[in-house]
Amino acid sequence: MLINIFASVPSFEFVLYSVISYIIVRKTPCEIIVWDILPCIRRELAKNMAEMGLNETKIAEAIGVTVAAVSQYLSNKRGAQTSFDDEIQKEIKKSAQKVIDGEDSAKEICRICTLIKTKKGLEVPCGI
């Protein structure tokens, strides 16, 4: 069930959106990842990297988004639908450091996404 994807849901509106998306629209697991999970992962990566001293331009270059997107992540205007539990937060922090140290951000985002999918039962059955 979609609501179980997130450690905490900050608003009734988001719960309603999620339920409607899952029941009525029947979003696929891939759509849930792209529209709901990835922006939240990027937001947390950006916040961690900012706390580690990177400016918005460096963060944008490192995670492959625009400076405007980073600004929106840092001000909670994008990717702010939810927060992750402590285990996922720790993994995102590790990923932020790895990206700063030169690791490919796509690889790290994929790693975090895989952890979330496995933990929350969103394994994609299509085999991609």
What mean pLDDT comes out for the span 77-99?
Answer: 91
The Cα 71–Cα 77 span in angstroms is: 8
Domain ranges of the chain: 38-120
CA atoms within 13 A on the CB side of 36: 27
Average pLDDT, whole number, for the chain?
82
pLDDT digits (tens, 9 = 90+) for 31-63: 778 888 899 999 999 999 999 999 999 999 999
Q: Which two tokens stand for residue 12?
A: 């009734």
Residue found under tokens 């270059």: 61
Nearest to 112 by CA among 12, 40, 11, 16: 40
What mean pLDDT comes out for the span 11-35?
Answer: 67
pLDDT at residue 62, as a whole number: 97
What mean pLDDT comes out for the span 106-116?
Answer: 93
Residues with Cβ within 8 Å of 17's Cβ and at least 6 positions away in sequence, in order, are none
Residues with Cβ within 8 Å of 49's Cβ and at least 6 positions away in sequence, in order, are 58, 59, 62, 63, 96, 99, 100
Residue found under tokens 């988001």: 14
